[in-house]
Amino acid sequence: MSIVLLGIESSCDDTSASILKDGVILSNCVANQEVHKLYGGVVPEVASRAHQVNIIPVVDQAIKKAGIQKSDITAVAFTRGPGLIGSLIVGVSFAKSFAMSLGIPIIEVNHMQAHVLAHFAEDPKPKFPFLCLTVSGGHTQIIKVKDHLTMEVLGETIDDAAGEAFDKTGKLLGLDYPAGPLIDKFAKEGKAVFDFPEPKIPELNFSFSGLKTSILYFLKKNIKEDPDFIKKNLNDICASVQDRIVSILITKLKRAAKETGIKEVAIAGGVSANSALRSTLTQTGEELDWNTYIPRFEFCTDNAAMIAVTGYYKYMMGEFAEQDVSPTARYSFSLRSKSDEG
C-alpha cells in the first residue's frame, strides 16, 4: 500500500499544505499573507486569523493538484513548533480534526528539523553526516545531521537571527517587510563599499544585534550630513550589509567543517534563498573541496513539503503523535522525540 502524507505548515505567516506519496512530492501549495507589509513585521493575531481563512482552501488545492482523493491520505504531518502560538494552533487543530475525521494517524514535526530535511524533497540529497547552516527569520543554527532524525546543534545565534538582521536593516532603510528578498535584489546593483564590523563571538555561535546597532549609527551619522543619503546609496548599503551577514555565516561554517572534518555542507531556511549566500557557499565549497547542497527556492522559505518529508521519515520509524498533542512556541532540539537522542 502507498504511503500518502498530507503535510501542514502554519508556524509564522505562510499557510502551506503538501501531498507526498511514497517519498515523492505531488504538490506544495503556499498562501502568503501580504497584510503584514502594512505593519513592517508579522502581527501574530493577524497571522492567526489569516491562517484560519487560508487553511481549508490551501489543503483543498494541495489535494486537487496532487490528483488524489482525500480518502487516499494515510497520515497527516504538521508543524508543532517552534513558531507563533496563535499560528501553530490553527495548523495543529486542523491537522488533528482532519485526521480524526478520516481515522488516520498524526505525526508532529519540529519546524527547524523540517528545514534541514527540505534537502530530502528531491535529488541530489546530502550524505550523512552533513553540516547544515539553518538560517531563517527566527533561527540561525549550525546543525550536525547524523541521520534523518538525529541532529545536533553545534552553534546558534545568541541574539537576532540572520533573517532578522536582514529584516531589521530593511526597516531602518524604509523597506517593506520581509526585507531579505529586497536587500538581495538591490545588492545586485551595488558594491560592498561600506565596512560594518564583524562580531567576535566564541566557538560556533553567532550574534547579529551589534551589526544592527552599527548600521543604525552609520545611517544616523550620514543622514545628518546628507538627508538623501539612503536614497542615493541604497544599492551600496544593501550590498555592504549583505556582504557582512554572508561573511559572518560562512566564517562559522568553515570553522564547523574544519572542527568536524565534515565536507558535506548544506544550507536551509528562508535566508538560504539569498543569492550572495548561495554563490559564496558554492565558491567556498569549490575552494575547500566540499560537496555543497542548496535547496530550490520553493523549499528554502516556509513550506509544507518539508513537513511532509519529515513526517515520512517519522512514519517509517512508527513515530506517531497522540490526539492530545499541543503546539509549542518554543520547540528546541532538546525536546526531541525518542529517535532523535544520541
Binding site partner of 285, from Zn ion, ligand KG4, none, Cβ cut-off 5-8 A by kind: none
Question: Alpha-carbon distance 204 to 253, whole Å?
Answer: 8
In the shown chain, the binding pattern of residues 285 to 304 toward Zn ion, with x for contact by CB under 5 A and - for none, equals -----------------x--
Q: Which of residues 53-72 bind ligand KG4 (CB under 6 A)?
A: none
In the shown chain, the binding pattern of residues 6 to 25 toward ligand KG4, with x for contact by CB under 6 A and - for none, equals ------x-------------
Residue nearest to ligand KG4 (CB): 270
| Interface with ligand KG4, residue 166, by CB under 6 A | yes
Question: Alpha-carbon distance 307 to 296, whole Å?
Answer: 16
Member of 137, 155, 190, 295 binding ligand KG4 (CB under 6 A): 137
Residue 294 C-beta: closest distance to ligand KG4, Å: 12
| Interface with ligand KG4, residue 156, by CB under 6 A | no
Residue whose entry in the numeric block shows the C-alpha cell 497520515 = 75
| Nearest of 66, 78, 1 to residue 29 by alpha carbon | 66
Whose Cβ is closer to ligand KG4: residue 95's or residue 179's? 179
| Interface with ligand KG4, residue 270, by CB under 6 A | yes
| Interface with ligand KG4, residue 160, by CB under 6 A | no
Residues that bind ligand KG4 (CB under 6 A): 12, 136-138, 163, 166-167, 178-181, 184, 269-271, 273-274, 301-302
